[in-house]
Amino acid sequence: MDHWVCQVENATFEKPEKHLHLKALYLKGFINGKPITKMLVDKGTNVNLMPYSIFRKHGKKSKDLCPTDMPLTNFSGNISVTKGVVCVELTVGSKSLPTTFFVVDAKGTYSILFGRD
């Protein structure tokens, strides 16, 4: 019969030298065939967001937006009104999907923000 010997040992966790794991995940891809960089992936966000400036850079006009009355709460807890919703063909790598974005009048370090819609 085997005997198991269990003893308590101290575990030591060393602090990583570089904080590479804390960097944001940015992707490159295409929206309706036009290249786009700095697409930020944030699993903590509940919807996909696109700043109005990026919406305009991709040749869209206000009439291309579908109206919505859904307010969004930003990171500081304030209510933001959306300009509307737009559905685009999003391509990342070899995968292309129709993707819906809430268009907001905001600035950020990203071109678009992926959430969990």
More confident residue, 17 or 58: 58
Confidence band for 12, pLDDT divided at 50, 70 and 90: low
User: Rounded mean pLDDT of 85-107?
Assistant: 90
**Position 14, amino acid:** E
Would you list the domain boundaries of the chain? Answer: 20-114
Average the pLDDT over each of 15-29, 46-60, 75-89, 100-114 and give the range with the smallest value: 15-29
20-114 belongs to which homologous superfamily? Acid Proteases (2.40.70.10)
Confidence band for 98, pLDDT divided at 50, 70 and 90: very high
Which 8-state DSSP code applies to residue 62? G
Confidence band for 116, pLDDT divided at 50, 70 and 90: low
Give the C-alpha separation, 53 to 4, whole Å.
Answer: 65
Give the C-alpha separation, 65 to 86, whole Å.
Answer: 5
CA distances (Å), 43 to each of 48, 57, 87, 114, in order?
10, 26, 20, 7
Q: Is the pLDDT of residue 76 over 80?
A: no
Of 19, 23, 24, nearest to 113 (Cα)?
24
Confidence band for 35, pLDDT divided at 50, 70 and 90: very high
Give the C-alpha separation, 88 to 3, whole Å.
Answer: 63
Confidence band for 87, pLDDT divided at 50, 70 and 90: very high
